[in-house]
Amino acid sequence: MAQMLTYKILSEHLVEGKLAAGQLIAIRIDQTLTQDATGTTAFLLYESMGGSRVKTDLSVSYIDHNMSQFGPENHNDHLYLQTVAAKSGVYHSRAGNGICHQVHLERFGRPGVTLLGSDSHTPTGGGVGAVAIGAGGLDVAVAMAGGPFYLTCPNVLGVRLTGDLSDWVSAKDVILKILSILSTKGNVGWVVEYFGEGVSNLSVPQRATITNMGAELGVTTSIFPSDEQTKKFLTAQKRKEHFRELAADKNADYDRVIEIDLSGIEPLAACPTSPGNVKTVSEIAGMNTRQIVLGSCTNSSYTDLMMASEVLKTRRINDMVEFAIAPGSRQVLNMLADNGALSDMIAAGARVLESGCGPCIGQGFSPADGVLSLRTFNRNFPGRSGTKGDSVYLVSPETAVASALTGKITDPRRLGDLLGIDCPEIEMPNEFIIDDTMIETPPGKEESAKIEVLRGSTIVMPRMPEELPAEFAGQVLLKCADKITTDHIMPAGKFLKLRSNVPEYAKVVFNCFNEKGKPTFAQLALELNQKGIAGVIVAGDSYGQGSSREHAALCPMYLGVRAVIAKTIERIHKANLINFCIVPIEFENPSDYEKIKVDDKLRIPSLLDAVRAADTVSVKEENGRYEFTGRLELSGRDRKILLSAGLLNYIRRKADG
């Protein structure tokens, strides 16, 4: 049978199950990546599983998120991660070397491998033809220990690309176009696979922008074939030997196909406050902007920044605009410094930020009150920039730089008329500067045994969940709407530095819903927990959208939350809930959501039995006001994990026989 590329790679890695959409399968993982904000927990859990040398072909630990270093927390994390990586046989990419996804693509990504990363934008690796999947830190820890990764065998959406991009239109506009078609909801369990003659018109960095922001669709991953463009990229990275040609068979039988004519795409923007709220730039043009950032793992490649520098050369950014660049990696920064593009941008008035996540995760550069901020990032969830009530528009580097010159949202195609600027032709270089000195190779077995792992006082092993109660008595702590993101649940920004200390970080669970003068979510949850009452969160559609951060399960669990009842729950978050023994329940009849109020007391008399074997569970309001059926969409393995009080216990029990 003519096979899809995704299935070809999955079948080469299949260790359990059958490749049929909807079935639980397990795959061998070749490579893992972790970043510091999720990595400390991942490595603490890895250590608690025995922590010998990793069993993968390659594991890399990156420092890129937490680099603001207010107080000792961030540096404690860096030192812990550096030493634990060396001890575990893991490569360590130091602070300053760049964003995990950009660096991984440049230096390690290769066609045909499986990559599991504790970051939702791991699918960036699909740009070089890898099956690259984001997951919670504990799942990545299991993969580092040699365990397979379990997932639902996906349906595959084929995106047939035709044509070529017009001037001033770029890869970001392609993925925004796809987001406008597929939206951020309802794509769980799918993989997006690109094919068609238009594919060859996109370079690897462009493909990586598209697969990166595919995360916002909520799909398992996105992937491009590996072809001449891939070979060119790997050759320029002096890794030609990693090239392998890969594509779907002709007439591969996709579950659904959509067609995108690249030449028909125009500049697009995701408007506040969702990456799926897409409009054309020409529709919103003219609005004043005071802050613009070019960076993040979506759009900070060499070609993105070269385009910006060509446009800015000999010009000045608008006086009313603060414009910053955050090159995605030290390689990109080095190349810009080497060829003079950096000084062109500095001369134009750009602020140069560190190579890292920075403003994308609220680490500085927050916009002023009421200011419209343009960013080349992938997420504009409310408050993610660090400013409450922010107004963030996600755009391409072309739109960002055009707007930086005018001070207004500007369709870059108008730059010719407005300022006499022609669209620059930027080619990917034949050779990138290769300097891996900021990537530490782990020492051999004997040397690594001598390494002392440094654990600052802010690095605390998280407590693991207790067994589920046979008779579930819970109370609704919070009822929230659709599209609750992990940024709502576990804020980043100034709280990001608490990632390695769950008792402290848990204090800000659902901080955005806390009201001045009233008890916080955390206080209410702990109070209930002390009375032996489990906390329940009720939500609408797409609960847990966004990041892979397992703290969005780990911290509520620490506070005593034992069930989430939602219309639908997103893939990575659902897995994290199960890993930390919070029962994910989805309404059989979504209108039952309306019946529930905050503080309602809910009973699930047969919870354990249901988790053991049933697909539904009956939930009763304590005073008999209502009763409804919840769906338990769980695999056999999920059930065992929940019955074992979480994944870590499940693994330990399995090892004990």
C-alpha–C-alpha distance, residues 106 and 275, integer Å:
26
The item of ligand MIC, ligand SF4, none sharing an interface with residue 28, based on CB under 5 to 8 Å by kind, is none
Kindly state the smallest distance separating residue 100's Cβ from ligand SF4, in Å: 6
Exposure string (b/e) for 522-544, b if CB count within 10 Å is 16 or more? bebbbebbeeebbbbbbbbbbbb
| Cα 263 to Cα 136: distance, rounded to the nearest angstrom | 38
340-369: which residues touch ligand MIC (CB under 6 A)?
A: 361
**Binder to ligand MIC among 120, 187, 318, 385 (CB under 6 A)?**
120
User: Are the C-beta atoms of residues 127 and 211 closer than 8 Å to each other?
Assistant: yes
Binding map of ligand SF4 across residues 327-366, x = CB under 6 A, - = no contact: ------------------------------x--xx-----
Sign of CA dihedral 305, 311, 316, 320: negative
Per CB under 6 A, the list member of 73, 77, 119, 586 interacting with ligand MIC is 119
Rule CB under 6 A: say whether 221 interacts with ligand MIC: no
Q: Distance from first CA to last CA of the chain, Å, rounded?
A: 40
Please give the full DSSP string across 342-391, using - where no structure is assigned. HHHHHHHT-EE--SSSGGGGTSS-PPPTT-EEEESSS---TTTTSSTT-E
Site residues (CB under 6 A) for ligand SF4, limited to 255-314: 296-297
> Which of ligand SF4, ligand MIC, none has residue 99 at its interface (CB below 5 to 8 Å by kind)?
ligand SF4
Give me the residues paired with residue 563 across strands: 536, 583
If binding is defined by CB under 6 A, does position 119 make contact with ligand SF4?
Answer: yes
* Pick 121 or 207: Cβ nearer ligand MIC: 121
3-state secondary structure string, 225-254? CECHHHHHHHHHCCCHHHCCCECCCCCCCC
Catalytically active residues are 64-65, 119, 379, 547, 549
Residue closer to ligand SF4 (CB basis): 124 or 410:
124
Contact 236, 429 (CB under 8 A): yes
CA torsion 260→262→268→272, rounded to 10°? Answer: 40
Of ligand MIC, ligand SF4, none, which one sits near residue 296, judging by CB under 5 to 8 A according to partner kind?
ligand SF4
**CA-based angle 133:297:148, to the nearest 5?**
15
Q: In the beta sheet, which residues pair with residue 586?
A: 566, 631
Q: Does residue 534 bind ligand SF4 (CB under 6 A)?
A: no
Binding-residue pattern over the window 378 to 407 for ligand SF4, x denoting contact by CB under 6 A = x-----------------------------
SS3 48: helix
| Binds ligand MIC by CB under 6 A, chosen from 25, 37, 143, 563 | 37
In whole angstroms, how far apart are CA 115 and each of 31, 82, 99, 467? 5, 21, 16, 32
Question: Can you tell me which of 331, 376, 410, 547 binds ligand MIC, judged by CB under 6 A?
Answer: 547
Q: Which segment (226-234, 328-336, 542-550, 580-588) binds ligand MIC by CB under 6 A?
A: 542-550
Q: Counting contacts by CB under 6 A, is residue 38 touching ligand MIC?
A: yes
Q: Which two tokens stand for residue 435?
A: 């300097």
- From the list ligand SF4, ligand MIC, none, partner contacted by residue 38 (C-beta under 5 to 8 A by kind): ligand MIC
Residues that bind ligand SF4 (CB under 6 A): 65, 99, 119, 121, 296-297, 357, 360-361, 378
Residues that bind ligand MIC (CB under 6 A): 37-38, 65, 119-121, 134, 361, 492, 546-549
